[in-house]
Each structure stands twice: as C-alpha cells, then as structure tokens.
Structure 1
Amino acid sequence: MAMTTTRDRNVDLTPGAPDHTRPGPARRLARHRVSLWHLFLVPFSLVWIYPFVWVVSSAFKSQREMLLGGISVLPQEVTLDNFTRAWQVANFGAYTMNTVVFSAAVVVVVVFVSATAGYALGRGQMPGKRIVVGVLLATMFIPHGYTIIPVFKLVDALGLNNGLIGAVLAAAGPAHVVQILLFMGYFAGLPQELEDAARIDGAGYVRIFWQVMLPLAKPIIGTVTLFTFISAWNAFMVPLVFTLGRPDLRTLGVGMYSFFGQYTADWTGLAAAACISLLPIVTVFLLLQRTFVEGIAGAVKS
C-alpha cells in the first residue's frame, strides 16, 4: 500500500489549482533585485582588485613592458628574472628567514601577554580594573612614532640593540590594546560554573587559566595570531630602527627599499618582492580564516 506524507496531502491536485510550491511574485522580485545589485557591484569589485592583479602581473614582465605597456595585466613575454633578482641579488632569501623568526617570536609574546592580561581583566574583581582599561583605551590614540624613542633607549640600555631580539621586544612590548580587549571580552563571556568546578577540584588561579580557560579560547588565539602575524610581517619602523647597524638582519618590509636607488627604481623587482612577501600572509589567512571569524563573533557576542 502506497504511503502518503503530510506534504503530499497538502498539495491540491485539482486541475487549474494554484501551485504553492512555486515562488510567488514578491519572492521572484526580491531575487531579481539581488541579481541587479550583484551586476551593479561587479564593476566596483574589478576596480578594487585591479591594482593587486596588476602588481602580480608586473612581477612577470620586463622593465620596459611594465613602463610602456599601459594598464594591461597580461604580460606579452613571461619572465622569472625578477623573482631571481629579488631572491638572490636583493638578498630576500635571508630577509624572509629573518621575517619568519621576527614574526613568530612577536606572535608568541603578544599572545601570551594579551591572554594573561585579558584573563586578569575579564574574570574576577581586580582592583583598579576600570582605570587600567581606561588607560589601555587611551593609549590607542597615541601614534606609534611617539613611543619609538623611549623604547629604543630602553632596548639599547639592555644591550639588545642591532639584533632581532631587541626588535622583537620593541614590537611586542607595547600594549596591544585590541588583542587584550578581544581576550578580555571572550573570557568575560565564559560561564562562571567552569571556574567554580575547577576550584572544587582544587585548581588555583593559574591552573584554571592554563588548563580550563585558555584551551577554550582557541578562536581568540587564532584571531590574535592572525592580527599580530600580519602586523609583524609588514612592520617597517621597528625593524628598521633596531637593525640599522646590522643590514643582514633586515626584514622584508625594510628590504623593499633595496630596490630604490638614488636616481632609479627597480619596479619589476619590487613587484616580485611584493609577491614573495605576500604569499605567507595569504597562506596564514587561509589557514586561520575560520578561527578568525569564530573569534571575532565570540568576542563581539560576549
């Protein structure tokens, strides 16, 4: 015996009866509006991504074709000499390793400091909590250039100038307010029952942080890691100041200037160098994009 579902019984099979399974006029009109908006926004998207596509294509052009080829993005003759020149002649191989070490160290320090500070401010009743948060927010409006001189004097007094360690401390030492606020908001939104259950099991304040709260903050850790990595990878002022006496310790951001001479500039080599420095950022973003979205959503929801 054939079985009929509730959906089958609700469909009127009478000839000439209206088909309720088809979208109505209002829904079709809404779909057409969305399609029209997409067609309207496509040209703006192309204009937005054109400079990036042009730089990538210029990395495979000759100097003459880049300067005289106009706005064309398709190279007439593909060449890899620009990448070879950027990697070997401009010493971008060593600069890349320096940037990896510098960025990884900055990420580790910033994540550790931001997580501990965010936990202290987000959980419990720390004396002067509002004052500390207010001071942190106020520091967001101080330009970075105003603090580079005292930071330089401090690092130089420690004997760490002209080295990556000093550059790491200078980049990771100042308060990273956004990262702290992200951890603070996430930790403040976690249930109090988790902390109470850990205390019943005999865990102290530090153990609760390391074994209970920090493992739950993986989305925020991924978000802060991505923010900090991009900032450290593209850093210019701090690596420049703290490696003036050691050109071999320059990072990619500082090494870009090796393509500029007194009277000329190697634009195709600069485009190839930009592509080299961009690849790790794109790779890290693709790996952490889901964690990044979850972390932002969790911090905002908290």
Structure 2
Amino acid sequence: MSSDFSPRHAIVTASDSGIGAATAIALAEAGLDVGITWHSDEAGANRTADAVRARGGRAVVTRFDATDLENAASVIEALADELGGVDVFVNNAGGGSGGPLLDLDLAGWRQDIGLNLDGAFIGMQAAARRMIAADRGGRIIAITSVHEHQPRVGSAAYVAAKHGLGGLVKTMAQELGASGITVNAVAPGEIATPMNDMESEDAEETHRPGIPLGRPGKAEEIAAVVAFLASPAASYVTGASWAVDGGMLQMGPQAGSHLVSDDWREG
C-alpha cells in the first residue's frame, strides 16, 4: 500500500462521547466526513456532529447497537451509503459489566463477548467488504484496551473479548493487506472519559502513582493516534497494537513486586 491513499469518509462507532467523539472530531480536522453512531446518547452524538460540521466536515448520525448481531452489518452499510463510502472504519463500541469469574453466568459472558468481539467482527467485516468493493484501499482501526495484552481481576469476559479482538485485528491485517487495507488496534489505558466518571480536563488533576506519566490519559490523546493510523503517513503500519497508556503496561513486574496488600485480588 502506497502513501497515495487519500481518505474522504470515516465511520466511528460509539462516537457520542469520550474516545469516539474525540476521534470523530480529529478525523474531521484531517478533512474527512464522518459517520457518527450512538446507542443510548443521541444528544451526545448530535453534539459530536455539530463539532464535525464546525470543522468543515459532513456528519451523518445513526443509532447502532453492536449487540444486535442480525442487523449491525446493515446499519454500517446504510451509513456508508449515506456518507458516499467508507475509507476509514473505527470500531470504538465496547464496554463491560465485570464481576468475579465464579459469579459470572453465561448470559453475562455472552453480553460482553457479543458487544466487544462479535459486534466488532460484524462491523469490521462490513467495512472491509465495502473497502474491497471500492478498490481504494482503507484503514480499519479497533479500539481495544490495555486488557488486550494484560488481564484484570473481575473482568474475565471483557479481557477474553479484547484478547480475541486483538487476534482478529492481526488476522484481518494478513488477509486484507493485498487489497491495500491496513488493520490496527489502539489499546488505551485509563482514560478520562464519562465512562470513567471523568472529563478530559480532569486528567491533569488526577494523580496515578502506578502510571509512569503519573495521570490518566485524555480522549484526545487516543484520537491523535487513531488519526495517524487513518492517515497516508501510516501506510506501512498494519497488524500492530498501539498501547496508549502512559506506560501502564510497562509496570507489571515493578508494580507486582511492590504491592503491599492482597486488595488487588478483589478487583
């Protein structure tokens, strides 16, 4: 794939707030029109759309439920139709309920796997099919988590799904490379978003001694990496997982040997 790739249309799932909203805005600043999806916060999606339009981009808003496995692909198809295509697809929809492994029932397990892995597969596959049909190359970027790489007590289904999504990214990169489509993951650490009961401005005021950079990240810091991976400059990057975590993943042995209680076992 050469650096001649010139994206015009992007879809960012779950772009009503947080990382998704920041990503949609970053892509608009790069000159792209953006398809924005929401699941429960339509007003937030419309705010993102207004921000995209304020930057000169066209915005299309639709509801998307990544767990509605029968209809998820058709929603992405319709959104691509309305946009005029999809050159960049960012799978941002995700989340997890958590709880001890021994208390996790099959319905809870399936809910987290369905949202974080099954729904991601359907959306990414639908986008890939459109990109191949258009024969212009493309960028597929999955927002995973540091838990794509490292586990967390009390999050078995979420961790399993994110590990699986990381494997899906790598396999898609192998299969789609010949069509000029790159596939990468961005793995955030703790990010100051509404999901974590914070806003970006809270990041600088929140101390995290276990993170080398000493604070949570900002949604805009994730979006900047996504925007790079979506750009012509990232033409030779595929099958990679970019940890954007302030150095959190580097702390395993250091943190493990310095814990002073067993509190971590409770999640």
TM-score, scaled relative to structure 2: 0.24
Q: Identify, as 1 or 2, the structure richer in helix.
A: 1
Q: Identify, as 1 or 2, the structure richer in strand.
A: 2
With a CA cutoff of 8 Å and minimum separation of 6, indicate the structure with the bigger relative contact order.
Answer: 1
